[in-house]
Each structure stands twice: as C-alpha cells, then as structure tokens.
Amino acid sequence: MHLKDHLSQTKDFLTIGEWTFEKIQSVLEQAHYLKDLQQKEIPHPYLKGKVLGMLFEKASTRTRVSFEAGMFQLGGSALYLNSNDLQLGRGETIEDTAKVLSRYVDAIMIRTFSHDMIEQFAESATVPVINGLTDLHHPTQVMADLMTIEEIKGELPSVKVAYVGDGNNMAHSLIEAASTVGMELCVATPPGYEPKEDVMNALSNDYVSVTHDPFLAVKDADVIMTDVWASMGQENLQLEREGVFTSYQVNESLCAVAKEDYIFMHCLPAHRGEEVTSDIIDGSHSVVYDQAENRLHVHKAILQYLLKVNDSKEQ
C-alpha cells in the first residue's frame, strides 16, 4: 500500500484543518500499515539517510520519544534541539534559525507555546515543519486519536466522540478533525472556557456541537475524551481551575450515560482524581496506552507523507 501519489502535497503539518479528508485518510492507512510491519518485526527503512530536527520549547515524553524512535525505525535519525541551547535563546531570529536548520535536516518538528511562532518558522523554512504541539493546536496527537478510534470503533463517520474539559489545543484539533472526517463531536466545557470562536467559525460545524452540560455531551457516546484542567504554562491557574472544572470530571456516574462499550481516551499526562478518576483511566474501557503507542505509528506516517517517500511493499 503506497501513500497515494495523486494527493496534492502540503509542505507542512501545522493544523489538521489544513488537510483534506483524503490526506488524513491516506496517512491513517499508512499508519495502520506501518504498525503492522512493526508488530511483525519487518524492517521498513523508508527514510534511510533522512534527518529530523526536533525543536523543543516545552517539555515532552510521548512527542519526543515517538518521533525519535520513529525516525530510527524508518532508517533515519533525529536530533533533539532545546531552544535554550540554540542561538534562539540568545536572540537569533526565528527566520534565521529556520533557514539555517533547513540546510542541515530534512524535516523539523516543533513543540512550542506560540502558534504564531511555528507559523513564522514554517514560512521561512524550506523543509517540512510539523506541529508537535502549540497552545492553540495539537494535530499529531489527534491524528493518533483518530487512528485509535478507527482500530477499535471502525469508520470515523459512524462514531460519536464526547470531549469533556477545557476548550484548549486538544479541543481545537478535535474540532478540526471532526469537521473534516465527518465524525460527530460534542465538546462540554464550563462557561467561559469554550473553544476559540475563530476555530469554530473557520469550519463547517455540522458535525460539532458545544455545550456546558457534560452529561448531554457524553450521552450515547462511543468515545469519551478529556485533558488536564491546566495545560503546560498554566500551572499558576491550577487552583482556580480546580474549582471551575470539578463538575466536569470524567467519573463513573458521567460514563454511565455513554454506550456500554464506550472507550476512554486521554492524551496524557493525566492527573488522576482531577479530570478523571482512577477507576476510569485504569479501568477496562480505557485505551490510553494504545492511544499513546499510536503516536509512534502515525508520526512515522506523517513523516513519510511529508517527505514524499513511498514504501517498497510492491517492489
């Protein structure tokens, strides 16, 4: 199975909203295929000789390890670049850094705070730039989420997803994904914590709804998702948000209104006893570790797609 050559290529992957349904589905198909190769221990060095630069302004576990391991498994290599160790930390411009790094590596993954920063970086870079997370979007995580839902629940348009919590970067990327692939999504947030209006208004939201009632969102859901109440960089708001979000905890009583075979998902790290109770995240409905594993496979497929390298299955 080749990545579909007829699809128009996009240099970067900054948001899911930039990709068509066909592009998303092509990458997901490849991710499933690469996972199968990995499980069968079949070598797949499709990116032999390629180098990924990984630029971090935020701490990371899953993003760093999955991209780095993925490049090694694809026959390439990855360089960890902490922004404090680069000349960026001494005032070099984003444009200069992007242009120079483009001369050294074949692709760049950035995990940062400002989405404007990554857009500015991608505009100056001449190699593909991948958004590993910004405060506004988390597209690589949501691609892994889509892959996980497909594995367990089947075709995405037949699935109802409930997202309960802050209208943050996860909510934004889920909204874009649902609007693109035709998946029903209901987002439940406290008043004042809804997803940004410009994200909502930029999309056809026939598949997306927002409510302040978590029970309404979760009713008959196939998938329940949540995230931490205070994201990285919002630690000073933790106590304030605990008071606001208490009634949005994913617990046994909330999950009781979902479908009997619902699955629970969380992008991790999780704060047990806050946004989710231990009996849910560690229970039989939880697929959080499958979800985390799929970061590896979908990141490999994204890299292969952006670098325009097909597999050699039919050769």
Q: Give the CA angle between residues 265, 267, 269 to the nearest 5°.
A: 115
Look up 141 and say whether it is catalytic.
Answer: yes
CB-CB contact of 250 with 276 (8 Å): yes
Of residues 12, 30, 44, 111, which has the active-site annotation? 111
Q: Which residues contact 105 (CB under 8 A, 6 or more apart)?
A: 51, 52, 53, 79, 127
For residue 267, say whether it is annotated as part of any ligand binding site.
yes
Look up 272 and say whether it is catalytic.
Answer: no
For residue 268, say whether it is annotated as part of any ligand binding site.
yes
Look up 111 and say whether it is catalytic.
Answer: yes
For residue 315, say whether it is annotated as part of any ligand binding site.
no
CA distance 290 to 308: 27
For residue 241, say whether it is annotated as part of any ligand binding site.
no
Of residues 25, 30, 73, 141, which has the active-site annotation? 141
For residue 60, say whether it is annotated as part of any ligand binding site.
yes
For residue 64, say whether it is annotated as part of any ligand binding site.
no
CB-CB contact of 16 with 24 (8 Å): yes
For residue 189, say whether it is annotated as part of any ligand binding site.
no
CB-CB contact of 120 with 113 (8 Å): no
Look up 6 and say whether it is catalytic.
Answer: no
Of residues 138, 172, 241, 297, which has the active-site annotation? 138
For residue 117, say whether it is annotated as part of any ligand binding site.
no
For residue 231, say whether it is annotated as part of any ligand binding site.
yes
Burial of residue 130, with CB atoms counted within 10 A of its CB: 0-12 exposed, 13-18 middle, 19 or more buried: buried
Beta strands in the chain (DSSP E): 51-56, 77-82, 107-111, 129-133, 160-164, 184-188, 208-211, 223-226, 263-266
For residue 62, say whether it is annotated as part of any ligand binding site.
yes
Of residues 295, 297, 299, 304, which has the active-site annotation? 295
Of residues 115, 222, 267, 297, which has the active-site annotation? 267
Look up 267 and say whether it is catalytic.
Answer: yes
For residue 90, say whether it is annotated as part of any ligand binding site.
no
For residue 61, say whether it is annotated as part of any ligand binding site.
yes
For residue 312, say whether it is annotated as part of any ligand binding site.
no
Report the Cα 110 to chain-centroid distance in Å. Answer: 13
* Residue linked to tokens 């998303």: 24
Q: What's the token pair of residue 4?
A: 């579909």
Of residues 73, 145, 227, 255, which has the active-site annotation? 227
Look up 90 and say whether it is catalytic.
Answer: no
- Residue numbers in the known binding site are 60-63, 87, 111, 138-141, 169, 227, 231-232, 267-268, 295
- Residue numbers in the known binding site for carbamoyl phosphate are 60-63, 87, 111, 138-141, 267-268, 295
- Residue numbers in the known binding site for L-ornithine are 169, 227, 231-232
Active-site residue numbers? 111, 138, 141, 227, 267, 295
